[in-house]
């Protein structure tokens, strides 16, 4: 290092900033920061970062470096700032130097971001040339992933190619100091997309103000399909019971809670409890749906979230949303799709698929090239939990601490996402959904191809689930590349290891509903000893017959019969006295003959059965509903739990779920209140977990535990498990970047395939 100059003389520094700093307005930010402090020098893009040369008084330079981190633009992710001294030169002013790579956008920054406060202020300023412009955006906000066809990110490679910039917009776009410098979707009233209103038949309605006309329809109780960032929403006035009922009837969605878009944080606070952490999530640039505890007697119609203690709330994230919210402080905003199908993306798609559902369509001529559903998050046990990782988050990469280059993971069957590896980074796709039909499979194929293209990786190795019949497995096989078939629950554990960059062995607890097991049965209550390459079963629930296979998932009462039949035979009938006589007889007959009764040890199924015995859920309308209901009524202060019967064969421990259920039955018949029983049931599952994990720790000497699988979306289970395992001196790892449910499985598949490849 050169000798320091005295504090009264100018110094010069070279500063290198590494991370996601290109395509996020970083250079204009550096320019404004440096000129504001009166510093001379320059900034330019270089490699995977920016290089800054800056000259001025020592104390001012220190302030400059501090504020580089503190005041960085919202979308920048700074991984490292390295500063070194250089020889001062004669220089005046600060400038942005152009390089060949300019305008290129790293895929890391290609997220869809909510309208920023600067743009909102302009949109609301009558003197601004973009006053009330429904497509206002800048370098810090607006769509990216959903409008990009391919990288490098240039206007001709986005769906903005149809809109040549006017002179005023071009001047902003080309000015390195402007906050719209190289913002590809930049536009205005003169040159941008335009809104249009279509009637229920998809015919254009002549309207001077389509937005106001849509607001009228909503205010009168109508249902409108509204084109958003990653697809269409179906919207209605959330405070109108009639409107919400109409939307539910037409969409054939009777029970699953609907998301609410609240005008602003105050509106959100009026219907739900919003702590500082929840507020930060609501207002984050990703703008996810945040699950919040609802306030009793709130203004929102009961039918929005029937018998639920939660509201899924989001704040407006596009200019169109903000403009609509001026008139309607609470809108139901639910993905516009028919059950099982992907969200509607094109105008024609929306009109044909939503015929009979929407009274009107608010559309525009900026195409959505990639579907992207709303993300869902919540605060749980003192941290954030991502329930669905999609718009706003995807495709930001996750560092997994291993070389995953060139690997494509095709994900599981439900809540499918795919992932592509480059270097040590894993690019997890947006939510694709349940692979139930050809349309979702096409969506999977398109997403895999596009993501690999954007990341700039030609897949050389493919990872998929071990289940031979998953449509994602079939897709993986069709690629004709070397294939790694990954056990489902090992993938859950490896996803948790990956996001925490853990290596070596851990104790993995994977509790979920369904996953293909090595013995051909359905697994899902797994305590595993695992590293990144291999996993070994340590404990699980004993197998239970599932009468009628998947029908037992839709009808949890059947699961109760299936679980109890092996120990009490036809007496199992008493578990579900509410069940139709003929149905119960048919189910018992199946069990008796052992026909169509596949075996499962899914923890989700035990929750289903317990919910059925307590009568809190007789039909499952959406995945996980019985468990959500059971948790909803559980009294966390209920003392006691039910006895756990543990057996062992071949070194693997098995816990008998049937005796737990029998105890639930007995208590119910003895008149113990359902909330007490539900509380004790949860404590029993916790007891199972605690006992198996501590024994695994004794057995192996391991002290790190990964909690994963959809069951850990249960707050009761997660909070207690973390507290009690930590009290045992164990280090507990849980998901915070990817969902614990199957939405995170592709990440684990990549981690395992990489470890296998290295071997």
Q: By the criterion CB under 5 A, which residues form the site for Fe ion?
A: 512, 515, 742
Q: Is the peptide bond before 395 cis (omega within 30 degrees of 0)?
A: yes
Which residue, 138 or 755, has its beta carbon nearer to Zn ion? 138
Alpha helices in 49-180 (DSSP H): 58-70, 117-123, 167-174
CB of residue 688 vs Fe ion: minimum separation in angstroms? 18
From the list Fe ion, Zn ion, none, pick the one residue 119 interacts with, judged by a Cβ distance below 5 to 8 Å according to partner type.
Answer: Zn ion
- Residue 160 in contact with Zn ion, rule: CB under 5 A: no
Nearest to 286 by CA among 183, 181, 372, 226: 372
Q: What is the 3-state secondary structure (H, E, C) of 184-248?
A: CCCCCCCCCCCEEEEECCCCEECCCCHHHHHHHHHHCCCCEEEECCCCEEEEEECCCHHHHHHHH
- Residue 141 in contact with Zn ion, rule: CB under 5 A: yes
From the list Fe ion, Zn ion, none, pick the one residue 188 interacts with, judged by a Cβ distance below 5 to 8 Å according to partner type.
Answer: Zn ion
Pattern of binders to Zn ion over 684-723, x per CB under 5 A? ----------------------------------------
From the list Zn ion, Fe ion, none, pick the one residue 116 interacts with, judged by a Cβ distance below 5 to 8 Å according to partner type.
Answer: Zn ion
CB of residue 122 vs Zn ion: minimum separation in angstroms? 8
From the list Fe ion, Zn ion, none, pick the one residue 552 interacts with, judged by a Cβ distance below 5 to 8 Å according to partner type.
Answer: none
Cα separation of 481 and 42, whole Å? 47
In 21-168, where do the E strands start and end? Answer: 40-46, 49-56, 77-86, 94-96
CB 93 within 8 A of CB 39: no
Which residue, 389 or 422, has its beta carbon nearer to Fe ion? 389
C-alpha distances (whole Å) from 697 to each of 127, 491, 496, 533 are 67, 21, 18, 20
End-to-end Cα spacing for the chain: 43
Rg (C-alpha) for the chain, rounded Å, is 28
Q: What is the 3-state secondary structure (H, E, C) of 604-655?
A: HHHHHHHHHHCCCCCCCCCCCHHHHHHHHHCCCCCCCCCCCCEEEECCEEEE
Pick out residues in 479-498 that bind Zn ion (CB under 5 A): none
Which residue, 229 or 303, has its beta carbon nearer to Zn ion? 229
Pick out residues in 172-191 that bind Zn ion (CB under 5 A): 188, 190-191
From the list Fe ion, Zn ion, none, pick the one residue 169 interacts with, judged by a Cβ distance below 5 to 8 Å according to partner type.
Answer: Zn ion
CB of residue 413 vs Fe ion: minimum separation in angstroms? 9
Q: Collapsing DSSP states into helix, strand and coil, what is residue 35?
A: helix
CB of residue 710 vs Fe ion: minimum separation in angstroms? 6
* # of chain residues touching Zn ion (CB under 5 A): 10
Q: Which two tokens stand for residue 157?
A: 């490679």
**Residues 6 or more apart in contact with residue 535 via CB below 8 angstroms:** 487, 489, 490, 493, 508, 528, 529
From the list Zn ion, Fe ion, none, pick the one residue 512 interacts with, judged by a Cβ distance below 5 to 8 Å according to partner type.
Answer: Fe ion
CB of residue 73 vs Zn ion: minimum separation in angstroms? 10
From the list Zn ion, Fe ion, none, pick the one residue 138 interacts with, judged by a Cβ distance below 5 to 8 Å according to partner type.
Answer: Zn ion
CB 451 within 8 A of CB 429: yes
Which residue, 330 or 712, has its beta carbon nearer to Fe ion? 712
CB of residue 352 vs Zn ion: minimum separation in angstroms? 32
Closest residue to Fe ion in the complex (CB): 512
Cα separation of 710 and 121, whole Å? 41
Which residue, 77 or 189, has its beta carbon nearer to Zn ion? 189
Which residue, 415 or 450, has its beta carbon nearer to Fe ion? 415
Question: Which residue is listed with tokens 């504001």?
Answer: 36
CB of residue 689 vs Fe ion: minimum separation in angstroms? 17
Which residue, 190 or 254, has its beta carbon nearer to Zn ion? 190
* φ and ψ of 685, to 5 deg: -60, -40
CB 26 within 8 A of CB 177: no
One of 40, 75, 138, 304 touching Zn ion (CB under 5 A)? 138
CB of residue 635 vs Zn ion: minimum separation in angstroms? 47
Which residue, 391 or 431, has its beta carbon nearer to Zn ion? 391
- Residue 448 in contact with Zn ion, rule: CB under 5 A: no
Which residue, 178 or 531, has its beta carbon nearer to Zn ion? 178
CB of residue 172 vs Zn ion: minimum separation in angstroms? 9
CB of residue 620 vs Fe ion: minimum separation in angstroms? 16
One of 18, 65, 151, 166 touching Zn ion (CB under 5 A)? 166
A 10 A CB-CB count for 686 gives: 18
Which residue, 131 or 578, has its beta carbon nearer to Zn ion? 131
Cα separation of 557 and 618, whole Å? 6
Q: Which two tokens stand for residue 658?
A: 């049937």
Q: Which two tokens stand for residue 547?
A: 């009468």
Which residue, 79 or 124, has its beta carbon nearer to Zn ion? 124
* φ and ψ of 350, to 5 deg: -60, -50
Cα separation of 182 and 96, whole Å? 13
269-293 exposure pattern, b = at least 16 Cβ within 10 A, e = fewer: bbbbebeeebeebbbbbbbbbbbbe
Cα separation of 235 and 155, whole Å? 31
- Residue 542 in contact with Zn ion, rule: CB under 5 A: no
From the list Zn ion, Fe ion, none, pick the one residue 166 interacts with, judged by a Cβ distance below 5 to 8 Å according to partner type.
Answer: Zn ion
Which residue, 124 or 554, has its beta carbon nearer to Zn ion? 124
- Using the rule CB under 5 A, give the single segment among 169-177, 265-273, 354-362, 544-552 that binds Zn ion: 169-177
Which residue, 180 or 492, has its beta carbon nearer to Fe ion? 492
CB of residue 168 vs Zn ion: minimum separation in angstroms? 6
CB of residue 134 vs Zn ion: minimum separation in angstroms? 13
| Residue 238 burial (10 A CB sphere; 0-12, 13-18, 19+) | buried
- Using the rule CB under 5 A, give the single segment among 141-149, 323-331, 518-526, 725-733 that binds Zn ion: 141-149
Pick out residues in 189-208 that bind Zn ion (CB under 5 A): 190-191
- Residue 169 in contact with Zn ion, rule: CB under 5 A: yes
Q: Which two tokens stand for residue 643?
A: 């006895």
Pattern of binders to Zn ion over 98-137, x per CB under 5 A? ------------------x--x------------------
Pattern of binders to Zn ion over 43-82, x per CB under 5 A? ----------------------------------------
Cα separation of 268 and 14, whole Å? 46
Residues that bind Zn ion (CB under 5 A): 116, 119, 138, 140-141, 166, 169, 188, 190-191
């Amino acid at each position: 290092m050169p000798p320091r100059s005295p504090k009264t003389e100018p110094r010069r520094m070279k500063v290198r900033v590494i991370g996601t700093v290109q395509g996020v307005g970083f250079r204009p930010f550096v320019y404004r920061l440096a000129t504001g402090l009166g510093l001379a020098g320059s900034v330019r893009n270089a490699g995977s970062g920016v290089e800054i040369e800056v000259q001025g008084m020592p104390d001012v330079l220190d302030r400059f470096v501090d504020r580089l981190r503190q005041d960085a633009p919202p979308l920048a992710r700074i991984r490292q700032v390295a500063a070194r001294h250089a020889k001062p030169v004669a220089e005046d002013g600060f400038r942005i130097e152009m390089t060949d790579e300019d305008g290129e956008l790293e895929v890391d920054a290609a997220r869809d971001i909510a309208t920023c406060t600067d743009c909102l202020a302009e949109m609301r300023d009558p003197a601004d040339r973009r006053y009330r412009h429904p497509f206002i955006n800048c370098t810090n906000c607006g769509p990216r992933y959903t409008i990009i066809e391919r990288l490098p990110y240039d206007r001709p490679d986005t769906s903005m190619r149809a809109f040549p910039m006017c002179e005023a917009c071009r001047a902003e776009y080309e000015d390195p100091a402007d906050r719209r410098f190289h913002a590809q979707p930049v536009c205005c009233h003169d040159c941008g997309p335009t809104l249009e209103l279509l009637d229920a038949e998809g015919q254009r309605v002549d309207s001077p103000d389509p937005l106001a006309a849509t607001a009228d329809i909503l205010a009168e109780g109508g249902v409108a399909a509204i084109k958003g960032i990653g697809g269409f929403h179906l919207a209605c006035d959330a405070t109108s019971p009639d409107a919400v009922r109409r939307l539910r009837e037409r969409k054939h969605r009777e029970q699953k809670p609907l998301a609410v878009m609240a005008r602003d944080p105050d509106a959100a606070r009026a219907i739900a409890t919003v702590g500082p952490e929840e507020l930060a999530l609501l207002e984050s640039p990703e703008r996810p749906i945040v699950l919040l505890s609802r306030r009793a007697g709130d203004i929102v119609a009961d039918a929005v979230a029937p018998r639920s203690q939660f509201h899924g709330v989001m704040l407006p994230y596009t200019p169109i949303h903000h403009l609509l919210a001026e008139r309607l402080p609470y809108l139901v905003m639910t993905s516009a799709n028919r059950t099982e199908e992907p969200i509607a993306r094109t105008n024609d798609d929306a009109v044909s698929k939503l015929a009979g559902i929407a009274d009107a369509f608010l559309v525009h001529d900026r195409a959505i090239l990639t579907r992207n559903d709303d993300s869902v998050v919540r605060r749980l046990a003192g941290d954030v939990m991502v329930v669905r990782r999609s718009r706003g988050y995807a495709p930001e990469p996750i560092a997994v601490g291993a070389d995953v280059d060139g690997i494509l993971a095709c994900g599981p069957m439900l809540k499918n996402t795919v992932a592509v590896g480059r270097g040590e980074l894993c690019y997890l796709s947006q939510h694709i959904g349940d692979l139930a039909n050809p349309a979702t499979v096409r969506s999977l194929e398109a997403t895999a191809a596009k993501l690999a293209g954007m990341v700039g990786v030609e897949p050389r190795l493919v990872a998929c689930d071990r289940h031979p019949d998953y449509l994602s497995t079939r897709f993986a096989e069709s690629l004709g590349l070397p294939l790694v078939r990954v056990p489902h629950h090992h993938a859950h554990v490896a996803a948790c290891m990956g996001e925490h960059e853990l290596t070596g062995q851990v104790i993995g607890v994977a509790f979920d509903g369904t996953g293909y097991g090595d013995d051909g049965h359905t697994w899902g209550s797994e305590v595993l000893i695992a590293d990144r390459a291999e996993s070994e079963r340590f404990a699980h629930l004993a197998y239970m017959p599932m009468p009628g296979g998947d029908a037992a998932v839709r009808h949890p009462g059947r699961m109760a019969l299936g679980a109890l039949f092996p120990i009490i035979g036809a007496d199992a009938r008493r578990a579900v006295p509410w069940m139709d006589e003929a149905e119960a007889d048919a189910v018992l007959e199946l069990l008796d003959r052992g026909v169509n009764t596949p075996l499962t040890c899914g923890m989700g199924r035990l929750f289903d059965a317990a919910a059925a015995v307590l009568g809190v859920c007789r039909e499952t309308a959406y995945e996980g509903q019985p468990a959500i209901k059971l948790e909803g009524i559980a009294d966390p202060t209920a003392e006691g739990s039910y006895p756990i019967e543990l057996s062992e064969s071949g070194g693997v421990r098995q816990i008998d779920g049937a005796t737990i259920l029998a105890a639930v039955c007995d208590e119910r018949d003895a008149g113990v209140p359902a909330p007490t029983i539900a509380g004790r049931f949860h404590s029993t599952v916790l007891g199972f977990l605690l006992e198996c994990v501590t024994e695994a720790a004794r057995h192996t000497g391991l002290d790190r535990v990964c909690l994963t699988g959809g069951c850990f979306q249960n707050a009761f289970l997660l909070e207690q498990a973390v507290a009690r395992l930590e009290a045992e001196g164990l280090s507990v790892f849980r998901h915070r970047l990817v969902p614990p449910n199957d939405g995170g499985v592709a990440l684990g598949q990549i981690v395992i395939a990489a470890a296998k490849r290295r071997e």
